[in-house]
């Protein structure tokens, strides 16, 4: 019997890359690869890359510089190390990657990674293999399902891709170019994936897609189902306790989604709804196709059906032409909405996007100043949101053991980490917790209800 080959995979960027990396591991497990935590002893290293901002993109090249040394060391020990670049930088730069970093053997885009076994074979014979096409077949139709042990090792919360690509063409964004046109997986396939995950201990599912609420997959009735209807169906799968979805576009919030929040307890009252800017002038230049008032109206629709709903968002500061007044409109919008948290970024021109041609650049110093002011406001809102939990009793889904003996860590509906001292058979259960205090971003508390003990063995997580 040959020894298993070792695979080291490093993912950058969004949740979909984390999900794709797991599917690459599943694909290569079928070829006899096992994961290793270190690149140095790996036979195959995959960098699953992100192209969203320049900083993310450039990280790949510094990592490839380090890997050149590791590959040389391996060769000196008589071992061959193969290096693959996957993800959105692979899609956007293709052959250029091999020109800039000849250490790379395989370049594979996000729609073709199910071909990895063939690409590795091709790299062995031809020296290098590059595939950045959008193949006609659907990768999900061919990807192997994760093994039960892999599902259990990944924990009680899992991502499932339901939608990919984007047709919105915001002027700053590379996604429509790297991930391609918007497409949705059929309802039946999503049900199969979620059922399998639930059967092996998963209790929380986050449906992911670049524009997830544009979901319009074909249902078993032959009609196109919106995201709200999909959520309703998934909530009926035994074992599924919590459902989330990310990332949404304000324009694509339809009544089915609002009704899902109203009617389905498993749909968590926490929505990531990026707005990017609070200035209508900048929103128009970004081609967001909504105004600040439209965005607030969408938030109000959610709030009308669930008073306890909370929001997070993404913001870009320093988009070309953004004046001090535009930026103040962003601060005003943040103040008006009141976020539980948000991500904010300095604008980064991306090659091939319309905004990269815009000339009125905001100075670096101005961008730094705006980012700091925005982050300070968001941090204060986040702290207020977390502090408000103290003294309350909130439902927590327990995920794993904590840093100390006897400590178990879970998450609230709003993804706040919550720590209690308890036996570890509470993992996989939702239990009310009385929150006593806040330590940095984590809530500390104690169980406020008796633990229900299953008749059979509890869900065991981790290797």
**Closest separation between CB of residue 330 and ligand 5AD, Å?**
12
Size of the site for ligand 5AD (CB under 6 A): 12
**Count of residues in contact with ligand SF4, rule CB under 6 A:** 10
Q: Give me the helices (H) in 269-340, please.
A: 280-285, 292-305, 324-337
Residue 339 touches which of ligand SF4, ligand 5AD, none (Cβ within 5-8 Å per kind): none
Q: Which residues pair with 129 in a beta bridge?
A: 106
The answer to whether residues 209 and 164 touch, using CB atoms and an 8 Å cutoff, is yes
Taking the least distance from each CB to ligand SF4, the nearer of 110 and 201 is: 110
One of 57, 184, 211, 279 touching ligand SF4 (CB under 6 A): 211
Q: 265-304 mask for ligand 5AD (x: CB under 6 A)? A: ---------x-x----------------------------
Q: For residues 262 and 234, give the distance between their C-alpha atoms in angstroms, rounded to a whole number.
A: 16
Nearer to ligand 5AD among residue 130 and residue 342 (C-beta): 342
Question: Half-sphere exposure of residue 140, counting CA atoms within 13 Å on the CB side?
Answer: 16
Q: Mention every residue, 6+ apart, whose C-beta is less than 8 A from residue 229.
A: 219, 256, 260
Least spacing, CB of residue 367 vs ligand 5AD, in Å = 10
**Could you tell which of ligand 5AD, ligand SF4, none binds residue 210, using a CB distance below 5 to 8 A set by kind?**
ligand SF4
Query: Cα separations (Å) of 423 from 155, 407, 420, 445, 463?
Result: 17, 8, 10, 14, 18
**199 sits in which H/E element:** helix 187-199
* Site pattern 353..392 for ligand 5AD (x: CB under 6 A): ----------------------------------------
The tokens for 21 are: 């990396």
**Which is closer to ligand SF4, CB of 247 or CB of 386?**
247
Q: Quick one: which of 218, 254, 314, 366 contacts ligand 5AD (CB under 6 A)? A: 314
Please identify which residue in 9, 29, 46, 52 interacts with ligand 5AD, judged by CB under 6 A: 52
By CB under 6 A, tell whether 317 contacts ligand SF4: no
What is d(CA 153, CA 149) in angstroms, rounded to the nearest whole number?
6
Which residues, numbered 167-186, are part of the site for ligand SF4 (CB under 6 A)?
Answer: 168-170, 173, 175-176
- 311 part of the interface to ligand 5AD, by CB under 6 A: no
Query: Residue 371 to residues 48, 179, 264: CA-CA distances in angstroms?
Result: 28, 28, 37
Strands across the sheet with 44-49, in order? Answer: 33-35, 5-11, 44-49, 82-86, 106-108, 129-131
* Residue (of 270, 230, 234, 226) closest to 252 by Cα position: 226
As a whole number of angstroms, the longest Cα–Cα distance in the chain is 69
Interacting partner of 347 out of ligand 5AD, ligand SF4, none (Cβ under 5 to 8 A depending on kind)? ligand 5AD
Contact criterion met (CB below 8 Å) for 229 and 384? no
The region that residue 11 occupies, defined by phi over 0 for left and psi between -120 and 50 for alpha, beta otherwise, is: beta
Contact by Cβ (8 Å): 101, 58: no
Does 416 interact with ligand SF4 (rule: CB under 6 A)? no
Among 16, 316, 374, 396, binds ligand 5AD (CB under 6 A): 316
Quote the least distance from Cβ 287 to ligand SF4, whole Å.
8
Query: Is residue 148 within 8 Å of 26, Cβ to Cβ?
Result: no
Residue 52 interacting partner from ligand 5AD, ligand SF4, none (CB closer than 5 to 8 Å by kind): ligand 5AD
> At which residue do the structure tokens 């996604």 appear?
175
Which entry of ligand 5AD, ligand SF4, none binds 345, CB below 5 to 8 A by partner kind?
ligand 5AD
Q: Counting contacts by CB under 6 A, is residue 320 touching ligand 5AD?
A: no
The interface partner of residue 350, options being ligand SF4, ligand 5AD, none and the CB cut-off 5 to 8 Å by kind, is ligand 5AD
φ/ψ of residue 458, rounded to 5: -70, 165
Residue from 12, 33, 172, 270 touching ligand 5AD (CB under 6 A): that is 172
- Distance, in Å, from the CA atom of 24 to the CA atom of 113, rounded to the nearest integer, reads 7
Q: Binds 441, which of ligand 5AD, ligand SF4, none (CB < 5 to 8 A, cut-off by type)?
A: none
The answer to whether 347 contacts ligand 5AD (rule: CB under 6 A) is: yes
- Going by C-alpha positions, the residue among 201, 301, 204 that lies closest to residue 252 is 301
Q: Measured from the CB of residue 53, what is the shortest distance to ligand 5AD in angstroms?
A: 5
**CA–CA separation, 345 and 371 (whole Å):** 7
Residue 82 found at the interface with ligand 5AD (CB under 6 A):
no
Number of H helices, E strands in the chain: 15, 19
Task: For residue 186, give the 3-state DSSP assignment.
Answer: coil
Query: Would you tell me which residues interact with ligand 5AD (CB under 6 A)?
Result: 52-53, 172-173, 274, 276, 314, 316, 345, 347-348, 350
Query: Would you tell me which residues interact with ligand SF4 (CB under 6 A)?
Result: 166, 168-170, 173, 175-176, 210-211, 249
């Amino acid at each position: 019997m040959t020894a298993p080959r070792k695979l080291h995979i490093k993912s950058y960027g969004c949740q979909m890359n984390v999900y794709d990396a797991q599917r690459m591991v599943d694909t290569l497990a079928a070829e006899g690869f096992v994961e290793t935590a270190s690149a140095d002893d790996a036979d195959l290293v995959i960098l699953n890359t992100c192209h969203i901002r320049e900083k993310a993109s450039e990280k790949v090249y510094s990592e490839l510089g380090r890997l050149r040394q590791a590959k040389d060391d391996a060769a000196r020990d008589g071992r061959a190390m193969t290096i693959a670049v996957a993800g959105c930088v692979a899609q956007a730069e293709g052959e250029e990657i091999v020109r800039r970093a000849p250490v790379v053997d395989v370049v594979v885009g996000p729609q073709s990674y199910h071909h990895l076994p063939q690409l590795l074979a091709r790299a062995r014979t031809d020296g290098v293999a590059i595939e950045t096409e959008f193949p006609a077949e659907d990768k999900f139709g061919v990807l192997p399902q994760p093994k039960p042990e892999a599902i259990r090792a990944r924990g009680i919360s899992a991502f499932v891709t339901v939608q990919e690509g984007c047709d919105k063409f915001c002027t700053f964004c590379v996604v429509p170019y790297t991930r391609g046109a918007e497409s949705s997986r059929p309802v039946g396939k999503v049900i199969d994936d979620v059922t399998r995950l639930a059967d092996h201990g998963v209790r929380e599912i986050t449906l992911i897609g670049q524009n997830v609420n544009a979901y319009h997959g074909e249902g078993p009735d032959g009609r196109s189902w919106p995201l709200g209807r999909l959520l309703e169906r998934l909530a009926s799968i035994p074992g599924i306790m919590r459902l989330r979805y990310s990332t949404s576009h304000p324009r694509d919030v339809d009544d089915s989604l609002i009704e899902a929040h109203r009617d389905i307890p498993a749909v968590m009252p926490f929505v990531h709804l990026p707005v990017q800017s609070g200035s209508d002038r900048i929103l128009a230049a970004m081609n967001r196709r909504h105004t600040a008032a439209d965005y607030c109206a969408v938030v109000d629709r959610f709030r009308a059906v669930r008073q306890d709903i909370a929001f997070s968002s993404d913001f870009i500061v320093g988009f070309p032409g953004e004046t001090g007044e535009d930026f103040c409109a962003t601060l005003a919008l943040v103040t008006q909405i009141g976020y539980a948290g948000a991500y904010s970024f300095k604008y980064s021109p991306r090659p091939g996007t319309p905004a990269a041609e815009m000339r009125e650049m905001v100075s670096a110093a101005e961008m730094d100043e705006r980012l700091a002011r925005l982050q300070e406001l968001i941090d204060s809102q986040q702290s207020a949101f977390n502090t408000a939990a103290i003294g309350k009793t909130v439902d927590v889904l327990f995920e794993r053991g904590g840093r100390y003996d006897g400590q178990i860590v879970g998450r609230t509906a709003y993804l706040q980490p919550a720590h209690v001292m308890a036996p570890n058979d509470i993992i996989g259960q939702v239990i009310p917790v009385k929150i006593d205090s806040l330590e940095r971003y984590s809530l500390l508390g104690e169980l406020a209800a008796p633990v229900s003990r299953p008749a059979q063995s509890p869900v065991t997580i981790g290797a």
